[in-house]
Amino acid sequence: MKNQIAAASGFCFGVKRAIALAEETLGQEPLYALGPLVHNPQEMERLNQLGLTVVADIEAVPDGAALLIRAHGASPAVYAAATSKQLRLFDATCPHVRQLLRKAADFVQSGYQLLIVGDASHPEVQAALAWARGLATVITGPEAIATLPLSERVAIVAQTTTKLDVWEAVLQELRSRTTDPEVGCTICHATKKRQQAAQELSKQVDIMVVVGGHNSANTRNLVQLCSEIGTPTHHVETAADLDPAWFPAGALVGITAGASTPDWIIKEVVTTVENMENKNNELMEETTEQKTEEVQPEAEKQVEEATAAEATPETECQEAPCQCEEQAAEHTSEGEEAEEAEQVEETTDMADVAGDMVDIRTGQIVEGTVVRVTDSEVYVDIRYKSDGIIQANELSNLPNVQPADVVKEGDVIRVVVLRLENREGNVVLSKRRADAEAGWKLAEAAFSENQIVRGEVTEVVKGGLIVNLFNLRAFLPASLVDMRFVPDLGIYVGQEVDVKIIEMENNRRRLVVSRKAAIEELEAERKEATWAALEEGQIIEGTVQRLTDFGAFVDIGGVDGLVHVSEISWGRVNHPSEVLAEGDKVKVKVLGLDRERERISLSLKHAQPDPWTLVTEQFKAGDIVTGKVMRTVSFGAFVEITPGVEGLIHISQLSNERVERTEDVVSPGDEVKVHILNINPGERRVSLSMRDPSAPRPERTQSGGGGERFERRPRGGRSQSYHEEGSVTLGDVFGNLFEQEEEKDEKDPENN
């Protein structure tokens, strides 16, 4: 028969702490307890002998005496009465129970309909009800929810020792009836581990023994869980309850214990089970010897008869003992080895469990597993006698982070031990400081190698920004944020930026970084790569950096090139701002490179199709189109009919009447309708007209001499009369020709 002990069994931290506090106090003065510290009669008897007095009501405690609040917690009325009676209070409320009480009070205060999963008669649940001002409903399982009227806002918590399968079934039923209930995870993770360990062990053994008080809720839960596996399970309070008939020879026995079971009772049970095995072995040996003695006389008689009948086998029999002794020796040796191996296998896990516990000290960095995450703290299993706790402000360097955003249950993290025990008995830990230790080493390596590293801007402070770099707070001065002055540093908060570490103070753990230095280095690398790849005739993308009267500077990859105002558009541009704005993404063509002077000539218009190559596809002679007057001259006006294509309206084509000054009819910026008279793409010329071909010719009038005449508006607005009686002036004959020549002179000044 072999036995194994569940990895997680016996006193939980809360009970162990309460008993340790009682023992320490009882060594100095009498102590009262409001109810039994543990649901174990034997352990309570031991404490009573040490001088602990258990009372059912706080009024039974003398004024000024010492009162211990047990791990199950107490109602607000108890604390008020203790204050009025001037009692010296020793509060041993379990941290997990304290969390349950706090959540119960908060949910009710926030207006939720509160459900508590658990045993309504259990002191822990009674305390939770008191903190909820009696406004909560206690349920035992999912079946209670089916008939329960639910409000729109429902919250639920659980007794810390609630079975996990019951809790999950309740949540499933609740979520089927209401949307997004508020769930307070208050089941003690030690309870989870104890239940899971008991279930796993039950699957591996032939018999389970659960040690604990019959009035202990968590012990009863263990018995039920093990029984549900199908393994024969026996619930005992002490070793005296063990029955040898339960343990057949060769059976594998599993042993676990509830949270209210002291180690000394568990050891007694383990020792008794082992002794039962030895007794069974002794009984088997005695039975074997008796049978041997009964058979031996008959065997001796048979040997004597055989000896008398045959004399010759004597020699053979003299040699036989040698073989028998060798076989016996071999058998004995094998038996001892098997027995020794069996003894090794039968050793309990008590030593293993104790060996797994670690010794820690303040300032030490240890590794642990996250077992529970709440809104304000994180519980971590660091393989110590009590769990560690990390407050929200010790989780990260980032401001205003929620614990659930940093870690989740099951994460393995590194933490620094700040204190071995707080008021609730937990080890106080810091993940932030452990991360900073590791981060400082990374920062030292980056600083020594002059690396560019990336961090997140978390806040604006006086004189600059704070950057979270390797989980360290690094200071970025305002003057080093960018190449130019930045008036509003708030735009960087939440952004990731590239920086270089320029100062490190080991003693003060102070970091100063520069984004400007990183930008300069990156820009130098970009610039070098750009110059190496640039060639004349390339069409590349760039960003407009700044505008001047004579053009625009465009960044084409760490290098600025100039687009002259004449190269911005195929049309006429008076100022670059008419077409471009800083920050615009544009395509430009490389016209020229001066590598020695680091100058680049760019063209925006040559990166676009020449509109004159498309003009015949867009227009034809006779079309009436709308255009914009771009400028006026003495002989007419130039009108843009499509971007980059301008046509001339000769002064004679501005109106059906004679026009002396172009400005009398049109001005720059006017939108006008024009007729296309002629298109010549080769010479990049378009002739336009604003005359109405359907309008009647000027009326003729009689002159004073009896001849007909027609009036034309003279220059300066005066009217002139022309006789039709054959008297035609030279101006009438050559006037149009002079005007056409004047137009040619304006367009081609080189011919003058």
How far is the C-alpha of 136 from the C-alpha of 116, rounded, in Å? 7
**In this predicted structure, what is the pLDDT of residue 419?**
87
Q: Give catalytic residues, as residue numbers.
A: 124
The hierarchical CATH code for the domain 610-752 is: 2.40.50.140
**pLDDT tier at 313 (50, 70, 90 boundaries)?**
very low
Q: What CA–CA distances, in Å, run from 593 to 274, 483, 546?
A: 95, 26, 20
Whether residue 465 is predicted with pLDDT greater than 90 in this model: the reply is yes
Higher-pLDDT residue of 621, 279: 621
Query: CB of 647 within 8 A of CB of 639?
Result: yes
Higher-pLDDT residue of 263, 89: 89
pLDDT (tens digit, 9 = 90+) per residue, 222-234?
A: 888 888 888 899 9
How far is the C-alpha of 141 from the C-alpha of 228, rounded, in Å? 17
Fold of 450-520: OB fold (Dihydrolipoamide Acetyltransferase, E2P) (2.40.50)
**pLDDT tier at 356 (50, 70, 90 boundaries)?**
very low
For 535, other C-beta atoms within 10 Å of its C-beta total 8
| Counts for the chain of helices (H) and strands (E), in that order | 17, 35
pLDDT (tens digit, 9 = 90+) per residue, 469-488?
A: 988 999 999 999 998 888 89
**pLDDT tier at 423 (50, 70, 90 boundaries)?**
low
Q: Which of 387-391, 686-690, 702-706 has the lowest mean pLDDT?
A: 702-706
Whether residue 1 is predicted with pLDDT greater than 70 in this model: the reply is no
Fold of 96-187: Cobalt-precorrin-4 Transmethylase; domain 1 (3.40.1010)
Sheet of 66-69, strands arranged across: 52-55, 31-34, 66-69, 88-91
Q: Where in the chain is CATH 3.40.1010.20?
A: 96-187
pLDDT (tens digit, 9 = 90+) per residue, 96-148?
A: 888 899 889 989 999 999 999 999 988 999 999 999 999 999 999 999 888 88
Q: Where in the chain is CATH 2.40.50.140?
A: 357-435, 450-520, 534-607, 610-752
Higher-pLDDT residue of 56, 386: 56
pLDDT (tens digit, 9 = 90+) per residue, 176-192?
A: 888 888 888 788 767 77
How far is the C-alpha of 190 from the C-alpha of 94, rounded, in Å? 12
**How much is the average pLDDT of 257-265?**
79
**How much is the average pLDDT of 562-580?**
86
Which H/E stretch holds residue 294? helix 263-309
**In this predicted structure, what is the pLDDT of residue 350?**
38
**In this predicted structure, what is the pLDDT of residue 429?**
94
Sheet of 233-236, strands arranged across: 2-5, 252-257, 207-211, 233-236
**pLDDT tier at 7 (50, 70, 90 boundaries)?**
low
Whether residue 737 is predicted with pLDDT greater than 70 in this model: the reply is no
Higher-pLDDT residue of 748, 276: 276
**pLDDT tier at 248 (50, 70, 90 boundaries)?**
confident
**In this predicted structure, what is the pLDDT of residue 279?**
58
The hierarchical CATH code for the domain 4-94 is: 3.40.50.11270
How far is the C-alpha of 457 from the C-alpha of 492, rounded, in Å? 6
Higher-pLDDT residue of 662, 351: 662
Query: CB of 314 within 8 A of CB of 304?
Result: no
**How much is the average pLDDT of 267-279?**
76
Whether residue 705 is predicted with pLDDT greater than 70 in this model: the reply is no
How far is the C-alpha of 395 from the C-alpha of 403, rounded, in Å? 7
Whether residue 449 is predicted with pLDDT greater than 60 in this model: the reply is yes
**In this predicted structure, what is the pLDDT of residue 424?**
65
**pLDDT tier at 217 (50, 70, 90 boundaries)?**
confident
Query: CB of 26 within 8 A of CB of 52?
Result: yes
**How much is the average pLDDT of 296-304?**
41
- For the chain, how far is it from start to end, CA to CA, in angstroms? 126
**In this predicted structure, what is the pLDDT of residue 280?**
56
**How much is the average pLDDT of 18-39?**
84
| Eight-state DSSP code of residue 161 | T
**How much is the average pLDDT of 290-318?**
40
Fold of 357-435: OB fold (Dihydrolipoamide Acetyltransferase, E2P) (2.40.50)
For residue 376, what are the contacts with CB-CB under 8 A and spacing of at least 6? 391, 392, 403
**pLDDT tier at 733 (50, 70, 90 boundaries)?**
very low
Tokens at 20, concatenated: 């340790």
How far is the C-alpha of 484 from the C-alpha of 486, rounded, in Å? 6
Chain centroid to CA 621:
68
Fold of 534-607: OB fold (Dihydrolipoamide Acetyltransferase, E2P) (2.40.50)
Which H/E stretch holds residue 553? strand 551-555
pLDDT (tens digit, 9 = 90+) per residue, 149-163?
A: 998 899 999 998 888
**How much is the average pLDDT of 491-504?**
92
Task: Tell me the pLDDT of the chain averaged across its residues.
Answer: 79
Q: Would the pTM count as exceeding 0.75?
A: no
* Buried residues in 505-521 as b, exposed as e (16+ CB within 10 A): eeeeeebbbbbbbbbee
**In this predicted structure, what is the pLDDT of residue 562?**
92
Whether residue 735 is predicted with pLDDT greater than 80 in this model: the reply is no
Q: What CA–CA distances, in Å, run from 125 to 10, 122, 307?
A: 22, 5, 85
Residue 716 gets the label, from left (phi > 0), alpha (psi -120 to 50) or beta, of: left
pLDDT (tens digit, 9 = 90+) per residue, 646-703?
A: 899 999 999 888 888 999 899 998 999 999 899 888 888 899 999 887 766 555 444 4
Query: CB of 113 within 8 A of CB of 86?
Result: no
Whether residue 40 is predicted with pLDDT greater than 80 in this model: the reply is no
